[in-house]
């Protein structure tokens, strides 16, 4: 006996859908979403200039929400040190951050070199991309 044709059709359709789902999962894991580490320089910044930094961060945050990128970590850099956050900050929280101190290019370069070195380590879970957000340097009168 061949069996019920409706049942065979149902099994064929379900098998096809299961295959599509499995293929989608495999492709998503293989291709992956770009991972980004965002470094926010909290050196003193005029409020209007800080808004530019917060707006830049908001673009990354929205891309993270749409799963176009994955924010792996956010590093807050200041002349007092650095703070690493494993979860993305809300853009309003970035807007409210206080800026203080002087920009330290040496500290920023050292951090950038360390992060790039982590990227090159085998089996590293480091970010594929590093984004530095800092206040635009305004000319000194």
User: Which tens digit of pLDDT belongs to each residue from 77-92?
Assistant: 888 888 999 899 999 9
Tens of pLDDT, residue by residue over 75-128, are: 998 888 889 998 999 999 999 998 888 887 788 888 888 888 877 654 444 447
Q: Which residues pair with 83 in a beta bridge?
A: 76
- What does pTM read for this prediction? 0.70
At 59 the pLDDT is 96
10 Å Cβ neighbour count for 134? 19
Q: What separation in angstroms does the CA of 104 have from each of 12, 20, 48, 100?
A: 64, 51, 21, 12
> φ, ψ for residue 112 (rounded to 5)?
-60, -45
């Amino acid at each position: 006996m061949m069996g019920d044709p409706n049942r065979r059709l149902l099994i064929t359709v379900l098998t096809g859908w299961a295959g599509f789902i499995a293929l989608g999962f495999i492709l998503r894991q293989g291709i992956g979403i770009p991972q980004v580490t965002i470094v926010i320089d909290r050196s003193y910044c005029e409020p209007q200039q800080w808004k530019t930094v917060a707006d830049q961060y908001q673009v990354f945050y929205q891309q993270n929400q749409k799963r176009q990128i994955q924010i792996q970590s956010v590093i807050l850099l200041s002349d007092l040190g650095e703070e690493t956050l494993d979860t993305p900050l809300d853009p309003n929280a970035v807007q409210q951050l206080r800026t203080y101190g002087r920009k330290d290019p040496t500290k920023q370069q050292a951090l950038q070199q360390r992060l790039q070195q982590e990227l090159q380590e085998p089996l590293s879970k480091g970010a594929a991309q590093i984004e530095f957000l800092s206040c635009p340097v305004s000319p000194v009168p």
